[in-house]
Amino acid sequence: MSTSPQEHTRWTRYAPWILLALILIFPFIFPSRYLLRTMVNIFFFAALGCAWNIIGGYAGQLSLGHAAFMAMGAYPTALLLLGLNVPPWLGFIPGVFAAVIIAFLLGHMVFGLRGPYLALSTLAFGEIVRILLLHFRDQTGGSLGLTIPFKGTDAWKLQFASEQPYYFICLALLGLCLYVTYKVHGSRMGYYLQAIKENQDAAENLGIDLANNKVRALMISAALTAVLGGFYVAYFYYIDPDSVCGTDLSIKILLVAIIGGVGTVWGPIIGACILIPLTEISNYLFGSGRAGASLIIYAIILMIVVLFSPRGLIALLPGGERSYRHE
Amino acid sequence: MTNQGESANGVLLELQRVTKSFGGLTAVDNVSFSVRCGEIFGLIGPNGAGKSTIVSLVMGVYEPDSGEVLFQGKSLLKLKANQVVERGICRTFQVEKPLLNMTVTGNVLIGALLRTADHKEALEQSRGIIERVGLGKVGHVLAKNLTVQDRKRLELARALATRPTMILLDEVMAGLTPLEIDQSLRLLRKLREEGVTILIIEHVMRAIMNISDRIVVLDYGKKIAEGGPKEIAHNGAVVEAYLGKKGVRNG
């Protein structure tokens, strides 16, 4: 916070590139499967956090059912792969279309609501999708889920025996989400979303079309989340309504963004870098009490952030405050 | 800078027999008046007279129960607030609504972005407006850290950034010192010179009598007087509305 302007500029100029270089060579220096898996998890949740951030962070519309969009990407990908041997990098496309259309409809339905009522309606939306997935068990496999058999390395189907390819694919997806966030951040829509978040009445009286902007943000966010749902199928080989559509997942996604820094480009990455390793540590320490233990960790981190740095941990970094403000 | 699309006799905004009730309370009762291009039009009346309701009716926050609101000859009735702003009317809020976590420049920039999607152009315009309203020194300050007078200036600056044909000022003088009021009046006169039509709601009599070309007085939702400042000041019904019958009897 008290770096001189020259030091500050040097740091912000070179640090990202150094970091990127390290990330790119990391899998070759540390080929440990476990470490690489953890890194993929970090990338994955950072990307999900970025996607959520567009509607939840920038626009300030708390979406508590975002996992549903991931399911909308995952299920078509899995079904097309299993039924028609369509590779995941094609199969996700119908999923994205579905997610965008449903985001459009959902947005127009619920964005008239404010505050807790909006949050509740998105929570209900997530649950409705999950229950529908359970209900149509003949098509979706219900609670038994869908298992993708691994038949040896097959690049066409994105099946790899080693972690490295997944590492780079997920990193690329994270790059995509960051790029989209960056474009939104610098665009007129980004400014408008921030205004909407700050004060909807003021925003409307400056000529901002509330519904349009919010719905478009949701559509972008849903599309990215659905793409990540497609990756989930290719990487984890198993989906079921709870793992890809559960409220736990929705909450984890938004935590990543909130802890790191809502309404910033890099915030979710920081959030994932904190949350994922801590989850791993808690799983290691508390063994069988797994699910409960990680939730306690999330709660503690969230409380710490809200008390000491409500705008996210990114605000604590040198130059972090600049991530929020425009002009 | 602004485009005036007035109807034949120079009328920019027209309310025709507008009525609005909330439950059992008639807030605006059969009110009609017109605002001409380039004028400064005052709207006064005791508290609860319906002045702010009229602003909300014009901005599309409420629909009138009956009557018509015409701007540049076209009806505003079915429009949402942001569409009214696009047409060229902008309001300031009596209780200011700054975008707290953004800077002064950021706040005004949002307004300017309505008319141009080009960031650089919008920023230039914003800086110009910020200078004109007297916020030049605080452009980088977060809105939540502004003084009251600066907050009011920010409300005005943001409204101006949308390049309105007409501005509705809702009690902008409240809480200002006499010196600050004079500064504001000078600014409003400059705006009028630039072609902005102004409808101003005020309680500060000194201000509104000083600056208005014409004034309409409301009381309990009804229009009780209309005319120039001198006529209004001597209008018995107006004095009575503010001071009550007793006040009139005692001179």
Of B158, B170, B183, B184, which is closest to residue B104 (Cα–Cα)? B158
- Say if A254 falls within a structural domain: no
What's the CA gap between A90 and B250, in Å, rounded?
Answer: 87
pLDDT band (50, 70, 90) for residue B180: confident
pLDDT in tens, B215-251: 999 999 999 999 999 888 888 888 777 766 554 444 4
Same domain (yes/no): B81, B69? yes
Residue A302 lies in a domain: no
Q: How many domains does chain B have?
A: 2
Taking an 8 Å cut-off on Cβ atoms, the answer to whether B113 and A203 are in contact is no
End residue of a domain, out of B163, B197, B214: B163
> Count of residues for chain A?
327
Say what the ipTM of the complex is: 0.88
Strand partners, B34: B14
Cα B152 from Cα B147, distance rounded (Å): 9
Interface of A with B in 171-190 (CB under 8 A): 186, 188
Among B163, B186, B213, residue at a domain's last position: B163
Q: Are A194 and B99 in contact (CB < 8 Å)?
A: yes
Helix, strand or coil, per DSSP, at residue A233: helix
Q: Distance between CA atoms of A180 and B165, rounded to whole angstroms?
A: 36
- Does the residue A91 lie in any domain? yes
Q: Where are the alpha helices (DSSP H) in chain B?
A: 51-59, 81-87, 104-112, 119-133, 148-161, 178-193, 205-211, 229-233, 236-249
Examine the domain organization and report whether B190 and B172 are in the same domain. yes
Which chain B residues are Cβ-neighbours of A201 within 8 angstroms? Answer: 93, 97
Give per-residue pLDDT as tens, B30-67: 999 999 999 999 999 888 888 989 999 999 999 999 99
Is B100's pLDDT higher than 70?
yes
* Chain A nearest C-alpha distance from B116 (Å): 9
Alpha-carbon span B131 to B143, nearest angstrom: 16
For residues B251 and B185, membership in a common domain is answered with yes
Q: Looking at the structure, do residues B130 and B188 belong to the same domain, yes or no? A: no
Give B70's strand partners.
B14, B75
Residue A293 inside a domain? The answer is: no
Q: Are the beta carbons of A202 and B98 separated by less than 8 Å?
A: yes
Residues lower than pLDDT 50 in chain A: 1-2
Q: What is the pLDDT of residue A115?
A: 86
Whole-number pLDDT of residue A8: 58
Give the pLDDT score at A213: 96
The DSSP result for A90-121, as a single string, is HHHHHHHHHHHHHHHHHHHHHTTS-HHHHHHH
Question: How many domains is chain A partitioned into structurally?
Answer: 1
Residue B160 pLDDT exceeds 60: yes
Domain match, B83 and B154 both: no
Residue B203 — pLDDT band, cuts 50, 70, 90?
confident
| B178 & B250 share domain | yes
Q: Indicate if B78 and B196 belong to the same structural domain.
A: yes
Residue B1 scores a pLDDT above 50:
no
pTM: 0.90
Q: For B105, name the nearest residue in chain A, comparing CA atoms only.
A: A327
- Per-residue pLDDT, B251: 42
In the beta sheet, which residues pair with residue B36?
B11
Decide which of B163, B180, B197 is a domain's last residue: B163
**Domain that includes residue B176, residue range:** 1-88+165-251
The residue assigned the tokens 């994955």 is A44
Tokens 């200002």 — which residue? B176
Residue A165 included in any domain: yes
Q: Which two tokens stand for residue A150?
A: 């691994």
Q: In this structure, are B106 and B10 located in the same domain?
A: no
B8 and B67 in a single domain? The answer is: yes
What's the mean pLDDT when you consider all of chain B?
88
CATH number of residue B236's parent domain: 3.40.50.300
Q: Are residues B236 and B198 in the same domain?
A: yes
Closest CA to A166 of A121, A232, A217: A232
Residue A172, domain extent = 30-246
Q: Is the pLDDT of residue B97 over 60?
A: yes
**CA-based nearest residue to A64, from A243, A261, A292, A253:** A253
Q: What is the CA radius of gyration of chain A?
A: 20
| DSSP per-residue string spanning A48-73 | HHHHHHIIIIIS----S-THHHHHHH
User: Which chain A residue is nearest to residue B82, measuring alpha carbons?
Assistant: A207
Residues B100 and B122 both lie in one domain: yes
The answer on B181 and B66 residing in a single domain is: yes
DSSP E strand stretches across A153-285: 238-239
Q: Which residues pair with B15 in a beta bridge?
A: B33, B69
Contact A207 B85 (CB under 8 A): yes
